[in-house]
Copies of this chain bind each other. A is one copy, B any other.
């Protein structure tokens, strides 16, 4: 079967690079177009990612895929979205708002940007958790008169939290979540990113807007489809988000108040056995299971566990009783630039393809 031609917009940035790395040899999607700002337009991709000093700013751990290195970068603002069947958007917030609406008039857009995440008719998809929210796309298309649509993924800090809460919501009910994150510097990208002077031998106790995102997104993702929108889950979500000297993967310390009694063993089992939405199970980017629970008290660790399942697995450990709240506490590690960004967006596209929203 012919693969679907796709474009990556914002292809030269850190998130865009992750798309290229993840799309190499993809069985369903055929990357044919790379686009970025007008500054990069007209250059070959391998040159567009060099800085003014001639130094390659490619940062994925594998090398630049040879198949894409010589693609000529297009100007994202002049892209003809009908030349492809799907656009992956990795542009920044402001530009995203304009460009993604433009593309969506004719073409599906799966995005890592936050621009449309909080719109009523826009699903916020983590396929194993809430694939059925994809139905909102129909509302979105009717309301906006679009042939395409915008499907954003959540903030990378939300992802691991929502994935691990999903089986708890299903089995025990969740009333309250209190979370402290220790986030990787790659989440801040490269310009300006987090400077070494700020984070070596240090912890930065604040990431602007991050806590609000996690709090709103978690409830939306775990909420229920109701008519033409989503009713957020009732749980209270409260966070403190910090930055630590870790390159990739966010670590989160989670305290959960459950609606129903559950022992740590039952909580661990619920996570281990959780298979999530059926449509998301056997997709190219899906790992064997979504959550791995470790019995080793010294796990999860971001450096040792972030690559589990190609960076698509959320690793959980230290599952203990939370007697004060009535529930459980645990630590999770989730790869912020894989499951939490480009590869997570590709998983969304695979799901939407399986559901018929992308053809």
Q: Are A318 and B240 in contact (CB under 8 A)?
A: yes
Residues of B within 8 A of A324 (CB): 176-178, 236-238
Cβ of A195 < 8 Å from any Cβ of B? Answer: yes
Cβ of A201 < 8 Å from any Cβ of B? Answer: yes
- Whether A53 contacts B247 in the complex (CB less than 8 A), given A178-B324, A185-B196, A302-B202, comes out as no
Q: How far is the CA of A325 from the CA of B114 in the complex (A)?
A: 28
A60's nearest neighbour on chain B, judged by CB, is: B304
Contact with B along A193-229 (1 / 0, CB 8 A): 1111111111111101000000000000000000000
Residues of B within 8 A of A193 (CB): 195-197
Q: For chain A, which range describes its interface: under 10, 10 to 19, 20 to 34, or 35 or more residues?
A: 35 or more
Choose one: B54, B186, B296; the contact of A56 (CB below 8 Å): B296
Choose one: B54, B61, B329; the contact of A240 (CB below 8 Å): B329
Q: How far is the CA of A87 from the CA of B242 in the complex (A)?
A: 40
Q: How far is the CA of A244 from the CA of B199 in the complex (A)?
A: 11
A255's nearest neighbour on chain B, judged by CB, is: B178
Cβ of A3 < 8 Å from any Cβ of B? Answer: no
Residues of B within 8 A of A55 (CB): 296-299
Q: Are A303 and B251 in contact (CB under 8 A)?
A: no
Query: Which of A205, A206, A255 has the most CB atoms of chain B within a 10 A radius of its CB?
Result: A205
Q: Are A201 and B246 in contact (CB under 8 A)?
A: yes
Q: How far is the CA of A323 from the CA of B198 in the complex (A)?
A: 30
Residues of B within 8 A of A242 (CB): 182, 251, 253, 331
A58's nearest neighbour on chain B, judged by CB, is: B304
Which A275-320 residues sit within 8 Å CB-CB of chain B?
Answer: 296-304, 307, 317-318
What's the minimum C-beta distance from A302 to chain B, rounded to whole angstroms? 6
Contact with B along A180-192 (1 / 0, CB 8 A): 1010011000111
Residues of B within 8 A of A199 (CB): 196, 200
Q: How far is the CA of A234 from the CA of B314 in the complex (A)?
A: 36
Q: Other than the known A178-B324, A202-B304, A205-B317, what 18 A-B pairs have Cβ atoms closer than 8 Å?
A: A53-B208, A56-B296, A61-B307, A178-B325, A193-B195, A196-B196, A197-B247, A200-B247, A201-B201, A202-B302, A203-B244, A205-B298, A205-B301, A238-B322, A240-B318, A242-B331, A244-B245, A245-B245
A contact residues vs B (CB 8 Å cutoff):
53-56, 59, 61, 176-178, 180, 182, 185-186, 190-206, 208, 236-238, 240, 242, 244-247, 251, 253, 255, 296-304, 307, 317-318, 322-325, 329, 331
Closest A-B pairs by Cβ, 5 of them: A236-B324, A180-B180, A180-B253, A193-B195, A202-B303
